[in-house]
Structure formats: structure tokens, C-alpha cells
């Protein structure tokens, strides 16, 4: 724990505090602690969401929803565990929720008369990017988004976020061997999709 004066409003230095300490301060009503947690973890959450769903706008929404949910449930956060793992898990759950909603929209858009289904957004990746590398990135991300959730999550956390197999196992609540197996399958499936 930091010295008592580090907790005072005048001496608040978020860089000197752990995520657990920031969470405790946030629960105590310190708005600056919420901001510090957001600043510290938002880029990672965005990258996880973008790689999971393949859409930047949706990833921004998922990032925002993830932090709203995390801050609402901050009392249940175990300060002994990494906040980064906890928020990543929340983001992955938000990505799953979005994927389920998209499947339902797609199902119902086929069930509706044509004139009524026009308002439902097309889940395909936009092809209006002018640069070839942007198009290739969008194509790769769309392929990642089509992977089964179990494979996609492991690929995103290990390959995109660079977490170790042990960290991925802790976030997902599976064994390191399961991470290795899912990662192998995800990479193989992704390679096959990208070849087509």
C-alpha cells in the first residue's frame, strides 16, 4: 500500500498506484481513479473488441459497454487478480453478446418482407477503403470474426494482445493445453479462410 499521503487529493498519482488500489479508490468515489483505470486499459480492450468483431465502430461501442459494465460491477472485482484479465473477460462477453444479436438480426432479416428488412444493417465489412493494406486488414479481421468464439478469443488474446498462454488460460478459465490446442486450430482455420 502507498503511504497515506498518496491517497490524498493533492498527492493523487495514478501511475504510482496498482489497478487494485485504483479500483478501491474508484469504489470510494474518486472519479480520477475511474479515469486512470480507463486510460490504462482502454486501448487493450478496444484491440480485443476490434479483433473479435472485425468492425471499428462496433469495437468502440463494445469498449464503452465493457467499461460501463466493469465500473458497475467494480465491487465484485478481486483485487488480487489482474484488472487487465478481468476487463478482457468482460469485453469478450460483450463481443459474444454482439455476435448473438447479429445472428438474430440476420435470421429475422431473412424472415421479413424485403421492404421491412432494409433498415437492418449489413454485418459485412465495408469495402470502401481505398488503400490495399486497409482492405487486407479488414479482410483478415472479418475472417477472425468468423472463427468460432473459443478459437477467436484465444487468437485475439494470444496473437493480437500478446498474452502468454498462462495469461490466456487465466482470462478464459481453461488449461494452458486447451489454449495451445485452440490456438493451433484457430491459426489453421484462419490460414484456410485467407487462402480462399
Q: Is the pLDDT of residue 4 over 50?
A: no
Percent of the chain with pLDDT over 70: 77
* Percent of the chain with pLDDT strictly greater than 90: 32
- Cα separation values, 45 from 42, 93, 105, 147, Å: 5, 12, 25, 19
Average pLDDT over residues 153-167: 86
Architecture of the 14-95 domain: Orthogonal Bundle (1.10)
Q: Exposure of 138 by Cβ count < 10 A (0-12 exposed, 13-18 middle, 19+ buried)?
A: middle
Average pLDDT of the chain, as a whole number: 80
Q: What was the pLDDT predicted at 115?
A: 52
What is the per-residue pLDDT across 101-134, written as a single tens digit (0 to 9) for each?
Answer: 877 666 555 544 555 555 555 554 444 434 555 6
* CATH number assigned to the domain with residue range 131-196, chosen from the 4 options 1.10.10.10, 2.60.40.10, 1.20.120.1760, 3.20.20.70: 1.10.10.10
Distance separating alpha carbons of residues 136 and 24, to the nearest angstrom? 43
pLDDT exceeds cutoff 50 at 65: yes
Contact predicate 66/88, CB 8 Å: no
| pLDDT for position 97 | 87
| Euclidean distance between the first and the last CA atom of the chain, given in angstroms as a whole number | 55
- The per-residue pLDDT for 70 is 92
The residue extents of the domains of the chain are 14-95, 131-196
Reading the block at residue 120, the C-alpha cell is 437492418
Amino acid at each position: 500500500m502507498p503511504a497515506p499521503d498518496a491517497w490524498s487529493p493533492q498527492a493523487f498519482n495514478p501511475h504510482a498506484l496498482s489497478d487494485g488500489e485504483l479500483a478501491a479508490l474508484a469504489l470510494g468515489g474518486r472519479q480520477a481513479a475511474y479515469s486512470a483505470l480507463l486510460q490504462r486499459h482502454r486501448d487493450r480492450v478496444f484491440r480485443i473488441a476490434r479483433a473479435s468483431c472485425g468492425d471499428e465502430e462496433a469495437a468502440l461501442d463494445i469498449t464503452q459497454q465493457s467499461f460501463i459494465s466493469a465500473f458497475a460491477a467494480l465491487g465484485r472485482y478481486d483485487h488480487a487478480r489482474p484488472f487487465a484479465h478481468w476487463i478482457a473477460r468482460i469485453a469478450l462477453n460483450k463481443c459474444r453478446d454482439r455476435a448473438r444479436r447479429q445472428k438474430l438480426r440476420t435470421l429475422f432479416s431473412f424472415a421479413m418482407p424485403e421492404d421491412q428488412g432494409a433498415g437492418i444493417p449489413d454485418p459485412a465489412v465495408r469495402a470502401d477503403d481505398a488503400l490495399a493494406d486497409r482492405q487486407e486488414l479488414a479482410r483478415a479481421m472479418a475472417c477472425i470474426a468468423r472463427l468460432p468464439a473459443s478459437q477467436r478469443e484465444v487468437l485475439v488474446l494470444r496473437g493480437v494482445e500478446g498474452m502468454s498462454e498462462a495469461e490466456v488460460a487465466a482470462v478464459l478459465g481453461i488449461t494452458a493445453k486447451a489454449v495451445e490446442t485452440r490456438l493451433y486450430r484457430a491459426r489453421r482455420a484462419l490460414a484456410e479462410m485467407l487462402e480462399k
